[in-house]
Structure 1
Amino acid sequence: MREQTIGGSHLALRDQVLAELRRRIVDGYYPPGQRLTEERLAVDFGVSRNPVREALRVVEADGLVSLTPRRGAVVAAPDPSTVADLFAVRASLETVAARLAAERAQPADVADLRRLLEQAREATDSDDLSQVAELNSALHMRVIEISGNRWMLTMSASLYLHVHWVFKLGAAVRAPHSWEEHIRLVDAIAAGDADGAEAAAREHVAAAAEAATASLAAASS
């Protein structure tokens, strides 16, 4: 599918470029190790080099690219240390969010989670891995919203950018298992079972961490 240049939007041009650059890196359109010049990105997005330069500084801070003198920007790859840190945070955040969601979820909230599950099933069955990755993050973000803890919600936006990125690298193997684990989590939330939801979230994060570690090992071998 042909990628679109940056078009009409109410967002500032730099923010449009930034959002699209993040999406292309996370979705693998610009894969790890690929060199990204300002000139190439300006052509890709149909903009001048200035908003591209600004966006590259932000994605460097995100950890999605490395900027080096004379070489420019190179798309980063998740490393074992970063992935371990990511899942350590997820293990704490998602278990608390799951417990709170089970205690606070309303019928409309559960309906939202069921809808996301169904969309994920369809995407998994059709092997649409980009959509699976998006829905994976969307479901976890929805659980955090349902928890009602605004501090966790504020911290999660940047975190789930990286969760999406890491998940996408091993999505072909991980997707069916992730969907089944999500069913157990949502069932516990729907039942108001706080202990069960916390346990399901803990088991899910542990399984995801193991899969991500195996994916990184396979990629480096």
Structure 2
Amino acid sequence: MTASTVAGQGDGTLADRAYRSISDRLVTLRIRPGEPINDERIATELGFGRTPVREALKRLEHERLIVAYPRRGTFATEVQIADLGHISEVREQLEPLAAGLAARRAGRADRGDLERLLVRLAKVSGGGTELIRLDMAVHRAIYAATRNPYLEDTLIRYDNLATRIWCLFLDRLPGLAGHVHEHGPLLRAVIDGDAEKAATLAAGHVEGFEAAIRGVI
């Protein structure tokens, strides 16, 4: 199972579900950068045993969302703004690739999921966290539609890291709603099978994200 099941909290093994829950807290900064991670406390809060939580934490360490130090413990990684350029270099290449592949490969069920996200985009009126989760849901639906699990998992990892940076500056980014609503034309291009347009829109979205962050740092 890939991490694309983030939207379906009831899907997968206990370790998958623990991973999604903890990842969401880390990415949206409910677990703050540098905060210690106590597997027993998290297991109690989430209602999981310690074994699935430990499995989830191993995965999150591999994805650079947490870091473990011998004799010191485990902590949420710090958000390094210096990493923005490195993350963007990867996403600038892979996000357009994913959008184009999704436009070519999306099946009926995928297109149905994307249509439902378009409806959510039109209706969303919430604040930062709701918009961020919707943004993440759009990205994951497109990644899943590529039918390439390696590309999907790679992009989820980098989208998580980018979203943490975004959340760090959330109160200083007044254009959040507009940034998320940019996904409307992208979703439509994927649904319509227009691979070239989808790729172009995805590239512009990544470039706009980096420019917005650099504008406030």
> In the aligned structure 2, how far is the partner of 1:118 from the partner of 1:170?
27
In the other structure, the counterpart of 1:4 is none
Verify the 8 A CA contact 1:133 1:171 in the aligned structure 2.
no
Q: Corresponding residue for 1:30? A: 31
Per-residue CA deviations over 1:112-141 (Å, capped at 9, x if unaligned) read 323213313433x122x3332222122122
Structure 1 or 2, whichever has the larger Rg, is 1
TM-score after normalising by structure 2: 0.73
Quickly say closer, same or farther: Cα 1:200–1:20, change in 2 above 3 A. closer
Unaligned runs of 5+ in 1: 1-7
Identity score, percent: 28
TM-score calculated relative to the size of structure 1? 0.72
- Checking the alignment, whether the CA contact within 8 Å between 1:95 and 1:199 is kept in structure 2 is yes
Which protein, 1 or 2, shows the higher relative CO under an 8 Å CA cutoff with sep ≥ 6? 2
- Measure, in 1, the Cα distance between the counterparts of 2:177 and 2:211: 15
Secondary structure at the aligned position of 1:159 is classed as helix
Offset, 1:55: 4.2
User: How far, CA to CA, are the matches of 1:192 and 1:161 in structure 2?
Assistant: 26
**Shift in CA distance, 106/11, structure 1 to aligned 2, threshold 3 Å:** closer
Work out the CA distance in 2 between the residues paired with 1:150 and 1:66: 25
* Residue 205 of structure 1: how far off its partner (Å): 0.7
For 1:1-221, list aligned pairs within 5 A: 11-12=13-14, 14-38=15-39, 40-45=41-46, 52-53=53-54, 55-105=56-106, 109-123=110-124, 125-127=125-127, 129-171=128-170, 173=173, 174-214=175-215, 217=217
Given that 1:121 and 1:179 are in contact with CA atoms closer than 8 Å, whether structure 2 keeps it comes out as no
- Give me the CA root mean square deviation: 3.3
CA distance in 1, matches of 2:149, 2:43: 37
Which letter maps to 1:11? T
Change (3 A) 1:107 1:25: closer
5+ unaligned residues in a row in structure 2: which ranges? 1-9
Using the TM superposition, give the Cα deviation of residue 93 of structure 1 relative to its aligned residue in structure 2, in angstroms: 1.3
Q: CA deviation at 1:95?
A: 0.9
